Structure 1
């Protein structure tokens, strides 16, 4: 049902009024809250990410999608290879063969796991063990696997080492708290332990440069902060290129690696330029959450959005929609709120913001809204929208052309 093989010739989202009105017309028979995927925008984003990757394969970050049929459609496009999953249970589900749906044959779990039941299932299934790779950054995580199923009683477990990609700048550490493995020496030490330990096969490495990929360098209305971010990112890139290359070389001296993963949607160009990386993890850019409005070098199309219904008018300049509190993860702040995008010019009430069951919206456009009208929102982070809906309506050529379930709609909640 979803086909992203061809890059669309037109970009209807450039005309905001026509684009959002088109989504309204196409979904008129659907009761909000409803979420949509615009197929042309999705295809545009998929191809633009390939352009930015400049020939380096992209491993799809499933956390940023959470729609199985979108994953399958994107993986059918040359240039996309494998999935970066976010839990082992999810990875096993994606990798398992089902009637009419073959499993994905290359799934790397992007975070260490403590799911004992899932570890046991992986350990006793030869097909899954050949398709799924676990992420580790300490000996204790290997101990946990052994405690669930000892080496002599299981399949060989594929593992990858995560290298910390944060930057130790003049004012301290910049990045996210992930792996404790920061230096090439630490990476080699862990690699040597893995290859000497029965029951494991070291097949890859990963490092996610969050301070580059996940930090917008052009936040609206904050020019001084933007200059600071760009200064930090230039220096972080230079340091990481050198350190990651040395770490990868150190580990390759111990084991033959199938892959070295890095990057994110926000750093496709940088990671593509890093000769030590064989692939790039990216997924958020497929849907284009409004987080990416804060980046200079690229602008994904708003391929997903959700509509809420106006249900009351507490005063002339305010219209209240039902629901809206679909807050993105991360540091609490205005940038984590869903953004009302159509009609243009709507703002949330400072003392209420996005509410669980109601969201008052004010502005000139609110005066024309009546109960039953709809307001379109964009979510901050791409994949988290899928946790709020059972399905996405598919819109193409100005009409609704079907729907696809989210993970939630398939009865899958992994976190």
Structure 2
């Protein structure tokens, strides 16, 4: 695999990003199969290459989950349809732009979890004088974390996202949306990060995942029913899941769609998942500029560290076999030292000018470091396409 990438990019200078199209397509097909026929929305934050977001749609994904309103407007202007913004926004300028954007009001759904979010949209409509039609569609973000009572203490397992957890809380905000001119409730989102975003690395983690799936399966149905009673009709959209939880989310009959994105690239943080076969498709290549001592090599670039709690898990993975980051320097700001792993068999010698391959800890974040990505099929580059950064876009 890596030898193919090296041959394909032999005439190119590093640092460079590549995506293997055969693997990307196979990953897309597997994600769709794991969803069992439930529509899959592509998470753009995990891709950040517009042509590859489009490619996922061509493989069968339906709709996009964007991570900002400005990104959603840009995508709609580029012809993308049905864009769900996955996070609330307080960007007044972007909300005003949405209010003025007729196609955006038809194609974009905002995420909200607080009356203050509704008021910001109302202010945008009032200040732009664009009226209440077509209404701005919104989706309620429901906290999908697991809360476990241990005596007088409640343990929160999952991310800190929405304040909406219990059915009455969600129904109350749904009623607020229904009574607000210029707004329309499209649906609900449940993102169970403690299931979708955690590797199956231990018995304890797997137990928490099973408990979370059972609890959320029951509560999700209760929330949907409570909101339906308030608004008086079925919801068009009930979104759930991520790459690590497609099977369990899609198995719930109230879920109308699931979301995935990281599974297209399969970054390093997904190596320990057992629910699917990791098939990495995205890599970045660095060139060796120094050999400071036998068994050592120093590459130019490489300090592309993933977001999240600071730990070794957030560092890039050295994909070239038999070589490792150093504990003292890790992935460097300008250069990255590597050492030959003790006892490694078959590790290639690395000299000045040789290429070393890495994988980012997360998916789309790596593309923020590159203007373009080289698309490889077999042992040749078949296309070069811009990343979001290469198109002059940075959405946060």
The TM-score bracket by the shorter chain reads: over 0.9
Task: Name which of 162, 168, 171 aligns with 1:188.
Answer: 171
Per-residue CA distance 1:271-310 (angstroms, 9 max, x = gap):
1111111000111001111111011121231111000011
CA–CA distance in structure 1, aligned partners of residues 256 and 120 of structure 2: 29
Tell me the matched-pair count: 383
CA–CA distance in structure 2, aligned partners of residues 112 and 56 of structure 1: 25
> Secondary structure of 2:33's partner?
helix
Q: Which runs of 5+ in 1 are unaligned?
A: 1-18, 98-102, 219-225
Evaluate the alpha carbon distance shift between residue 165 and residue 266 of structure 1 in structure 2; reply closer, same or farther with a 3 A threshold: same
Partners of 2:111 and 2:138 within 8 A in 1: yes
**How many angstroms does 1:348 deviate by?**
1.3
> Secondary structure of 2:329's partner?
coil
Q: What residue in structure 2 maps to residue 207 of structure 1?
A: 190
Residues 350-369 of structure 1: matches in 2 within 5 Å? 350-363=327-340, 368-369=349-350
Per-residue CA distance 1:318-373 (angstroms, 9 max, x = gap):
1111111100001111110001111x121111111111111110015788211100
> Secondary structure of 1:81's partner?
coil
> Secondary structure of 1:253's partner?
helix
Q: What residue in structure 2 maps to residue 169 of structure 1?
A: 148
CA–CA distance in structure 1, aligned partners of residues 247 and 348 of structure 2: 44
Q: What residue in structure 2 maps to residue 395 of structure 1?
A: 376
Partners of 2:35 and 2:246 within 8 A in 1: yes
Q: What residue in structure 1 maps to residue 357 of structure 2?
A: 376
Scaled by the length of structure 1, the TM-score of the pair is 0.90
**How many angstroms does 1:38 deviate by?**
0.4
Scaled by the length of structure 2, the TM-score of the pair is 0.94
CA–CA distance in structure 1, aligned partners of residues 228 and 245 of structure 2: 24
Structure 2 residue 24 is matched with structure 1 residue 50: no
CA–CA distance in structure 1, aligned partners of residues 291 and 178 of structure 2: 66
Q: What residue in structure 1 maps to residue 102 of structure 2?
A: 126
Residues 212-361 of structure 1: matches in 2 within 5 Å? 212-218=195-201, 226-255=202-231, 256=233, 257-342=235-320, 344-361=321-338
Partners of 1:316 and 1:367 within 8 A in 2: no
Structure 2 residue 162 is matched with structure 1 residue 179: yes
**How many angstroms does 1:253 deviate by?**
2.1
CA–CA distance in structure 2, aligned partners of residues 348 and 300 of structure 1: 22
Partners of 2:42 and 2:65 within 8 A in 1: yes
Residues 19-34 of structure 1: matches in 2 within 5 Å? 19-34=1-16
Structure 2 residue 394 is matched with structure 1 residue 413: yes
**How many angstroms does 1:241 deviate by?**
0.3
CA RMSD in angstroms comes to 1.4
Partners of 1:339 and 1:377 within 8 A in 2: yes
CA–CA distance in structure 2, aligned partners of residues 354 and 406 of structure 1: 22
Q: What residue in structure 2 maps to residue 139 of structure 1?
A: 115
**How many angstroms does 1:121 deviate by?**
1.1
